[in-house]
Amino acid sequence: MKTTTFVLLLWVFSTIQIMGQENEMETWGVVYNSVGNLRAEPRHAAEMVTQVLLGMPVRILEQKGGWRRVETPEGYFGWISGSVHPLADAGRKHYLAGAKVIVTLLHTRSYAEADETAPPVTDLVAGNMLELISADEGYYRVRYPDGRNAYVRKTDAEEVTDWLKGVKLTGESIVQTARQLLGIPYLWGGTSVKGMDCSGFTKQVYWMHGVILPRDASQQACYGRLVDEGGELSDALPGDLLFFGSKATEGEDEKVVHVGIYLGERQFIHASDYVRINSFDPADPLYDAFNTNRYLYTRRMIGEEQGEGMEELLSNAFYH
């Protein structure tokens, strides 16, 4: 009887250890597709709530069949099918410690050999990150989180350390990056150059400057420094974020439902049907009466990116 009890206890202890190891293995993950779609529920027909980019660390919270519920670096949650390579925390730290390259071109691809006539390995989009294995005159040799090796043209990417040193977070640079996204279609839940919603657009623009913005317009509106709320825009500068929605009333709270980037001269760029430029000026052919009438205020993010919720890339807990 004592032997049976001992064996039973040993089995229980071993099972707990194995479960603990399995749970540890699924604590973290890294995205291995160029773009991964997160949904509100673990099914393909559910609403897409956001996207994650290749090389992005995520925290794995739950698993149902082939779906994982994950948390993104900016604290957003959703379900993803595939696209994530699970890691223990030690594996995540090892991954983060290695050299990386970041894709700086809007769209490109990686190749099976250091030759652009070679078969492609995957597509790549702006903001994707890959482990750097080596570099020669024209190509980076890289490794994906799921172990695949490939080559990326040096003209399409940059070593992350050099990229971060060279990033100039200025209004002019924000505007220049935003203009490169003109014409990209609106996509609810999109945060990549494959398609983006209004806050996904602003998030992508700042991401390409090494800054992680909150996911939604209503969340982004909680950060930065207020510089205008009357619509005069006399203190607004290029690169500031403009917020739109409905003002608070006696029976209703303020609702922020849209965001764009100020260009100067009373013009702004935003994702609405597609990334486009509009104006607050009725005399401008680009005048947008609808958004002019629901304008709320302008906030300056540049110089304010040091706190929790809006952070420089390497200050985020998921990246160190």
Catalytically active residues are 198, 258, 270
| Region label for 147, one of left (φ > 0), alpha (ψ between -120 and 50) or beta (otherwise) | left
**Cα–Cα distance, 214 to 76 (Å, whole number):** 8
261 forms beta bridges with 241, 269
Look up residue 87 and give its amino acid: L
Cα(317)–Cα(163) distance, integer angstroms: 20
- Bridge-based pairing of strands 211-212 and 129-135 is unpaired
Torsion of CA 57, 72, 123, 120, to 10 degrees: 30
Structure tokens at 287: 């005048």
In the block, which residue shows the tokens 């089995």? 11
- Cα distance between residue 121 and residue 257, in whole Å: 38
**CA–CA distance, 34 with 191 (Å, rounded to integer):** 12
Q: What is the three-state SS of 106-170?
A: CEEEEECCCCCCCCEEEEEECCCEEEEEEECCCEEEEECCCCCEEEEEHHHEEEHHHHHHHCCCC
Task: Dump the DSSP string for 40-57.
Answer: SSSSTTSPEEEEEETT-E
CA 3 to CA 8: how far, in whole Å?
Answer: 8
What phi, psi does 272 have (nearest 5°)? Answer: -150, 100
